Structure 1
């Protein structure tokens, strides 16, 4: 199983800044930010499942366009997996006929282009030999991270989160954890903003990593454009056993 980074920026601006989306093999997305726009029509047509961490626009921006683009060319709906709270937001504020058509009823409810399936923290979806589990997260809206497990171990994507005791506990219970992709949206100068928005900054990331008893490779994502150099510099000092690196577009992880 391969996981390819389609986008990992906290914002837009130029071709390098694509918001969050990870492609698993050819048929699964974790989040559907602007990074998904790098896929060709044929690649978009192959997407059967989308796992959404939370409802913020940088993580769902391409989802309405994805369904609209390929729905009429598929023989089965795209299934979106998310918490019940996130599904409620998608129904109320996106697929509501005002912002975008309700593709759970197009062309009719018996043959929709889109299916919304709720999952809970701790629940695992098995897709062939691949297992995707929702892990806790703590953000400004209801949110989860995801654990992806293959034959050679697990990768966890934190999703958008501040320090979350339940997520740290879940990580420490994963003996097979190889990779941890974790957000760090703000520099330490904006520590108060990070707290208010329920994101991480480098000093908070140090606390998180110091509490881990597992030994994954750590990659930082979701840096705000315009602050990348500042955050990157702060990520180079003060870390101990788990020294984070930066996540990059088109990076591939094999499990």
Structure 2
């Protein structure tokens, strides 16, 4: 199984791309602006999209993806998300005003995309791979994802502040290999982080203190323009875990 990082930034500007991962060229995890760098033929090969939550840096390219490659596809794009996320996308994005409702167009029988609600703890089997929704604590309902090849698991936190249930779920993963986790705000902005449901280096250290498994620690979703400051704080707070910033375009084989 290959996991490619299409976007890993907390914002835009220059070469930054917002959050999206590509699994084996067939599965997208989140639909940030990183998806837009794919060729149309690559977009058409994506059969499933798993969304962590509604925010635009994670969902903004979903309607564009469904539209751009529609004529190359013979089947709907299967979109997996929490029921609250699906409802919000229908009301605020696929509402006929911001974008057509491609879950019923061009027809209800053969739409461009089809929604599948999921819940925390639910696993979706796609061939030998299993995608499992993990707990998260954000400003809106959200999840992280465990992407399991059978041999190893890559975990992506989505957007979350300190969430004890998330770390408990990690401790239950016997083949945990990589953890890609957000560190959006500097420690000085801890109050903003708390209000918005995001992580700081201090909060990350508290979570790691409860983790009982070895893991490759990858830091993502840092505030645009403050990546170096953010990584310096993460290194100071979690040095023994040897954290590093995940890189756009990087591929992990599991």
- Name the CA distance, whole Å, in 2 between partners of 1:104 and 1:89: 13
- Name the CA distance, whole Å, in 1 between partners of 2:235 and 2:170: 23
- Name the CA distance, whole Å, in 1 between partners of 2:105 and 2:253: 36
Following superposition, the deviation at residue 232 of structure 1 comes to 1.4
The 3-state SS of whatever aligns with 1:235 is: helix
- Name the CA distance, whole Å, in 2 between partners of 1:217 and 1:230: 21
Following superposition, the deviation at residue 240 of structure 1 comes to 4.9
Which residue is equivalent to 1:62? 61
Deviates more, 1:67-76 or 1:238-247: 238-247
Count residues with an aligned counterpart: 254
Structure-1-length-normalised TM-score = 0.98
Contact 2:201-2:237 within 8 A present in 1 as well: no
Deviations 1:217-251 (A, max 9, x none): 11010001111121011122132542311111011
User: Are 1:21 and 2:20 matched, yes or no?
Assistant: yes
Which residue is equivalent to 1:152? 151
Which residue is equivalent to 1:187? 186
Contact 1:220-1:247 within 8 A present in 2 as well: yes
- Name the CA distance, whole Å, in 2 between partners of 1:95 and 1:115: 12
The 3-state SS of whatever aligns with 2:241 is: coil
- Name the CA distance, whole Å, in 2 between partners of 1:151 and 1:118: 24
User: Are 1:30 and 2:29 matched, yes or no?
Assistant: yes
Which residue is equivalent to 1:164? 163
Gaps of 5+ in 1: none
The 3-state SS of whatever aligns with 2:189 is: helix
RMSD across aligned positions (CA) = 0.9
Following superposition, the deviation at residue 155 of structure 1 comes to 0.9
Structure-2-length-normalised TM-score = 0.98
Which residue is equivalent to 1:84? 83
Contact 1:72-1:113 within 8 A present in 2 as well: no
- Name the CA distance, whole Å, in 2 between partners of 1:49 and 1:226: 32
Instruction: Show the 5 A alignment for 1:52-131.
Output: 52-131=51-130
Gaps of 5+ in 2: none
Following superposition, the deviation at residue 211 of structure 1 comes to 1.0
Q: Which runs of 4+ in 1 moved over 3 A?
A: none
Which residue is equivalent to 1:2? 2
- Name the CA distance, whole Å, in 1 between partners of 2:203 and 2:165: 16
The 3-state SS of whatever aligns with 2:98 is: coil
